[in-house]
Amino acid sequence: MAQSTGKRPPVPAPASRGMARKLALALFVFLAALLYQQIQPPAPKICGSPGGPPVTGTRTKLKDGRHLAYLESGVPKEKAKYKIIYVHGFDSCRYDALPISPELAQELGIYLLSFDRPGYAESDPNPARTEKSIALDIEELADNLQLGPKFHLIGFSMGGEVMWSCLKHIPHRLYGVAVLGPVGNYWWPGLPSNVSREAWYQQLPRDQWAVWVSHHLPWLTYWWNTQSFFPGSSVIAYNPALLSEEDAMLMDKFGMRPYMAQIRQQGEHECLHKDMMVGFGKWDWSPMELQDPFAGGKGKVHLWHGTEDLIVPVTLSRYISERLPWVVYHELPKSGHLFPIADGMADAIVKSLLLGDDQ
């Protein structure tokens, strides 16, 4: 039925104002979805899945169904006097195991087990990764491979930080631990602010930002480190400004690893970015409050750090060694970050751990 339209007011009718509001809302939702898509990491390319990279190494299956790829070296574990599990650092994999000389392995009877941390190389990502889950993974790995009730642990860099988690969560499984150039978390409870501030300002500004984002806005970590508007982490980008004199020489060795293409093959998010989100995330405990797990016993915790480390500042390790007097602290005045691969260092580290040579 036709109605008179002669008296319609010259402002938009309520119906079309509602329309404009709906359009604005649709536009907002569209932009938000677009933004969400931008900051969302892509799904990892799981090893052995259709279209994913092939499985080439030996793997063991954990209770939750994830696989860990591992590499054994030294003497066979049945004959070994010492069993050591090695935990690699950032942007590395099982092939980066501490280069203990075959002679020393034979002489002392060392079995060395190295594995890909979750999301690296051929180990499945762990979507529920925390500072604790890696310690439980290590325990399960040791049990799957029947290493017995106790073993030694060595961890480097990000894998060094993992050592504190193992001392916290699985101390009863350990004979002794070597912590090499460990990454520290500036927000650990119990760190005096002048100490964390001193360490913080030893980083390049772009790394301060990358670390700040991974702590305060972890959901933005993927975007932050893959966009090209702001500079992302220089550690991810192998910035030569982070190399001390000794590191610059060792980088010839470290930068030319033939298996490097494998390391990030499942996608950078589940390995590199998750490392940052967990390593610099919010922990509800602090290494500063750890008790000596070997009190009265034979085992020791050794902490090694290079004075000239420009990748992981020595400040936090120095402070931890003061707070925890039972930690045997070795500061290497001429070394940077990569000292574990310097000539002779691996054997020195292992001898001090297993024999207590230098105490």
Ligand X SMILES: *[C@@H]1O[C@H](CO)[C@@H](O)[C@H](O)[C@H]1NC(C)=O
CA distances from residue 87 to 94, 160, 230, 310 in whole angstroms, order as listed: 8, 7, 31, 21
Burial class (CB in 10 A: 0-12, 13-18, 19+), 262: buried
Could you tell me the smallest distance in angstroms from the CB atom of residue 194 to ligand X?
4
Candidates 40, 49, 194, 227: give the one binding ligand X (CB under 6 A).
194
Of the ranges 24-32, 188-196, 220-228, 286-294, which one interacts with ligand X (CB under 6 A)? 188-196
Task: Decide whether 72 or 198 has the Cβ nearer to ligand X.
Answer: 198
Of the ranges 11-19, 190-198, 225-233, 332-340, which one interacts with ligand X (CB under 6 A)? 190-198
Candidates 72, 140, 143, 198: give the one binding ligand X (CB under 6 A).
198
Of the ranges 152-160, 178-186, 189-197, 303-311, which one interacts with ligand X (CB under 6 A)? 189-197
Note whether 189 binds ligand X by CB under 6 A: no
Could you tell me the smallest distance in angstroms from the CB atom of residue 305 to ligand X?
14
Could you tell me the smallest distance in angstroms from the CB atom of residue 110 to ligand X?
37
Of the ranges 47-55, 187-195, 332-340, 342-350, which one interacts with ligand X (CB under 6 A)? 187-195
Could you tell me the smallest distance in angstroms from the CB atom of residue 108 to ligand X?
38
Of the ranges 39-47, 135-143, 194-202, 273-281, which one interacts with ligand X (CB under 6 A)? 194-202
Q: Give the number of residues in contact with ligand X, rule: CB under 6 A.
A: 4
Could you tell me the smallest distance in angstroms from the CB atom of residue 192 to ligand X?
5
- In this structure, which long-range contacts are made by residues 318-326, counting pairs with CB atoms below 8 Å and at least 24 apart in sequence? 319/191, 319/192, 319/195, 320/184, 320/287, 320/288, 323/190, 323/288, 324/287, 324/288, 324/290, 324/292, 326/292, 326/294, 326/295, 326/300, 326/301
Contact pattern for ligand X over residues 142 through 181, marking x by CB under 6 A: ----------------------------------------
Note whether 195 binds ligand X by CB under 6 A: yes
Q: Name the closest residue to ligand X (Cβ).
A: 194
Backbone angles phi, psi at 68, to 5 degrees: -120, 130
Could you tell me the smallest distance in angstroms from the CB atom of residue 304 to ligand X?
20
Task: Decide whether 162 or 191 has the Cβ nearer to ligand X.
Answer: 191
295: tokens are 């009190």
70: tokens are 């591992």
What b/e string do you get for 316-332 counting C-beta neighbours within 10 Å, with b at 16 or more?
Answer: bbbbbbebbeebbbbeb
Candidates 52, 127, 192, 240: give the one binding ligand X (CB under 6 A).
192
Task: Decide whether 38 or 194 has the Cβ nearer to ligand X.
Answer: 194
Task: Decide whether 206 or 323 has the Cβ nearer to ligand X.
Answer: 323
Note whether 307 binds ligand X by CB under 6 A: no
Strand order in the sheet with 110-115: 58-61, 67-74, 110-115, 82-87, 151-156, 174-180, 301-306, 327-332
Task: Decide whether 143 or 198 has the Cβ nearer to ligand X.
Answer: 198
Distance CA 215, CA 221 (A): 9
Task: Decide whether 117 or 318 has the Cβ nearer to ligand X.
Answer: 318
Assess contact for 166 and 283: CB atoms under 8 A: no
Residues engaged in binding ligand X (CB under 6 A): 192, 194-195, 198
